[in-house]
Chains A and B, each alone.
Chain A
Amino acid sequence: MTILTLTDLSKRFGSQTALDAVSLSVSAGERVALLGHNGAGKSTLMKLVLGLMVADDGTIELAGHAPGSAVARSLTAYLPENVAFHPSLTGRELIRHYLRLRGQDPRGADALLERVGLGAAARRRIGGYSKGMRQRVGLAQALIGAPRLMVLDEPTSGLDPISRRDFYALLDELAGQGTAILLSSHALSELEARTDRILVLSQGRLVAEGTLAGLRRQAALPLSVFLRARPGQGAALAIAFPEAMVEGDVLRLSCAPPDKLAMLERIAARRDLVADFDLSPPSLDDLYAHISGRAA
């Protein structure tokens, strides 16, 4: 079931185009990541979805309702980027308030804070929380009332690797219960391959869409091959692989994905010269730079 549908969405600020005819949809239980540089249009897209801004062109439908309408608000949860809750309040007071705003029992606050790992800090003031803890308070308020759509703006920036893993585990759980999740990030490497679909925004346009494996296949970036020569065979190895570049005591070659097996055969044929070899796929950052760079 489709929860969120965007059709030819455009938004301009003066002469600047923030979003240019973007269409996408998110289904129940799907985790979709919106990727892009700062200023690529991610936050603008999210604010349009939340009804905080009005689009210049195109339509948004949220389970059949207009963004910002009373029903749409009751179905949606939001975690803004870099949100700083008032430092004088405790986590518990804040979550109790948000529960009341959504018409829920404020006694549920402790359970929510427990769920994001803040049970022990619930009665302490937010001013004394670490950055990761503050982000968890934000996440706790987004969990209120089992929302149908969660909009998370750079939710993992500033989180340590362990917290990030916990965070994605929580998202898995929510998606399993049918919540549609739209989250943004400025780096592929932050996503940890824990999303179902990745959308790449560049200068307000949707430039790539697919699973991580699919994007990798499309980009067809070369792999890097590293060869280490047997003692005394360095010169002979360099002659056998004339296209290689010398990097310290290893040789570096690049290899297109379809040529992987041929490359292995070449290496195996010269095992008299090769002491060891390594093969590394392009990193997620390389892949992202390639996709967004190609679009620009």
Chain B
Amino acid sequence: MLRRLLSTAGLEFRIALRNRWVAMGAAMMVLFSLVLSAAGAAPAGGLAADPLSVTVASLVSLAVYLVPLIALLISFDAVAGEAERGTLPLHLTYPLSRWELLLGKLLAQLGVVVLAVLAGYAAAAAMAFATGGLRAAEGLAALWRLTWTSALLGAAFLSLGHAVSALSRRASGAAALAIGLWLVMIVLYDLGLLAAIMADDGGRFTTQVFPWALVLNPADAFRIFNLAASEAVDAASGLAGAASSIAIWKPLASLILWPVLAAGLARLSLARVMP
């Protein structure tokens, strides 16, 4: 089982390398990280926190958009592309289970996401050390937390991409669905919550429903967990600040459960595919 899974992962990673997904993902992360840390360097002087912690706080709001985007971009083709090329029925006649096929792809693509994230965060950390000197070392724990939670967030959205890919069966349709999913889960979800809070004006929704609504979305859970655990909450956006009262285990549980749940969704979605 492991051999087939690893062989699938190896092949997929090779494809990702040659399709320049690795280079593109890393370039995107590095570019945005450098821009953000350059922009964040100026006001950092007035804060008590070390420069790396401040950088991490701004990286959180970057990662919450970019990591799901990169994950969906490299995963939407996984099933639909194979169905279109005619290799999906072939793979399913091999002694290779649908789980092995999905997990092999997930492993390879998670490698791509992690590489991109590492490149971006390393660039930002280098900037922080260059401007703040050794004081920046105080923020290393926050950077490490940001890195592994980014991997979990990436894994969740990779599997969601696989689910979408199996649902649509055509690469073009899968791409549209993936972008739609990103818009709804990352952008519209927060806007919707914000609108609901304004309408509610401190009522039951704000106190009872809203904290849970935040935790249930993996992107918001990622943001809350990183900011709540960090010293530099001051730099956080309004939403995360409002949710600072949420117990830390809730977003953590959400971050750990989402990749498992999404992988299950992808598997269910692939089960419906009759090539």
Q: A53-B274, A83-B87, A89-B14 are in contact. Are A100 and B7 (CB under 8 A)?
A: yes
B89 surroundings in chain A (CB, below 8 A): 47, 50, 52, 78, 80
Question: What class of interface size applies to chain B in its complex with A?
Answer: 20 to 34
The chain A residue sitting closest to B96, CB to CB, is A101
The interface residues of chain B lying within 8 Å CB-to-CB of A98 are 94
User: Residue on A with the closest CB to B11?
Assistant: A97
**Chain A positions near chain B (C-beta within 8 angstroms):** 47, 50-53, 70, 73-74, 76, 78-86, 88-89, 93-94, 97-98, 100-103, 141
Distance of A97 Cα from B3 Cα, bound (Å): 10
Are A85's CB and B3's CB within 8 A?
no
Q: Are A84 and B87 in contact (CB under 8 A)?
A: yes
Residue in B3, B19, B90 whose Cβ sees the most chain A Cβ within 10 Å: B90
Residues in chain B near residue A101, CB distance under 8 A: 4, 7-8, 94-96
Given contacts A70-B95, A100-B3, is CB(A52)–CB(B275) below 8 Å? yes
- Expressed in whole angstroms, the Cα–Cα distance for A274 and B26 within the complex equals 83
Q: Report the minimum CB–CB distance from A131 to chain B (whole Å).
A: 13
Checking A73, A89, A141 against B11 with a beta-carbon cut-off of 8 angstroms, the contacting residue is A89
A141 to B11, CA, bound (A): 15
Flag whether B18 is at the interface (Cβ < 8 A).
yes
How far is A25 from B90 in the complex, measured between Cα atoms in Å? 23
Residue numbers in B under 8 Å from A86 (CB-CB): 15, 85, 87
**Chain A neighbourhood of B208, CB < 8 A:** none
In the complex, 20 of the A-B residue pairs with CB atoms within 8 angstroms, ordered by the A residue number, are A52-B92, A53-B274, A73-B94, A78-B90, A80-B90, A83-B86, A83-B87, A85-B85, A88-B19, A89-B11, A89-B15, A97-B7, A97-B8, A98-B94, A100-B4, A101-B4, A101-B8, A102-B95, A103-B95, A141-B90
Which residues from chain B contact A93 at a C-beta distance below 8 Å?
11, 14
Q: How far is the CB of A224 from chain B (nearest CB, A)?
A: 41
Closest residue to B100 on the A side, CB-wise? A101
A93 to B96 CA separation, bound complex (whole angstroms): 18
Give chain A nearest CB distance to B111 CB in angstroms: 16
Min C-beta distance of B32 to chain A, whole Å? 27
Which of B3-44 touch A at CB < 8 Å?
3-4, 7-8, 10-11, 14-15, 18-19
Residues from chain A with Cβ under 8 Å of B15 in the complex: 86, 88-89
**Distance in Å from the Cβ of A194 to the closest Cβ of chain B?**
24
A-chain residues with CB within 8 Å of residue B85 when the two chains form the complex: 83-86
Q: Which residues of A contact B10 (CB under 8 A)?
A: 97
Is A85 touching B87 in the complex (CB atoms < 8 A)? Answer: yes
CA–CA, A84 and B274, complex, Å: 18
Are B87 and A103 closer than 8 Å at their CB atoms? no
Given contacts A52-B274, A88-B19, A100-B3, contact A78 B86 (CB under 8 A): no
Complex contacts, B86 vs chain A, CB 8 Å: 80-84
Interface residue B93 (Cβ < 8 Å from any Cβ of A):
yes
Task: Please report the C-alpha to C-alpha distance between residue A97 and residue B96 in the assembled complex, in whole angstroms.
Answer: 12
B3 with A102: CB separation less than 8 A: no
Q: A83-B86, A84-B87 are in contact. List 7 more A-B contacts (CB 8 A).
A: A51-B93, A73-B94, A81-B86, A86-B85, A89-B11, A97-B10, A103-B3
- Determine the chain B residues whose CB is within 8 A of the CB of A85 once the complex forms: 85, 87
Chain B positions within 8 Å of A73 at CB level: 93-95
Closest to B81 in A: A86
User: What are the 5 A-B residue pairs with the smallest beta carbon separation, nearest first?
Assistant: A88-B18, A100-B7, A83-B86, A84-B85, A78-B93
Task: Give min CB distance, B105 to chain A, whole Å.
Answer: 12
B275 / chain A contacts, CB cutoff of 8 Å: 47, 52
Partner pick for B94 among A81, A88, A102, CB 8 A cutoff = A102
Question: CA A80 – CA B3 in complex, angstroms?
Answer: 24
CB-CB under 8 A from B4, the residues of chain A are: 100-101
Measured CB to CB, the closest approach of chain B to A220, in angstroms, equals: 40
**Please, how many angstroms separate the alpha-carbon atoms of A78 and B96 in the complex?**
14
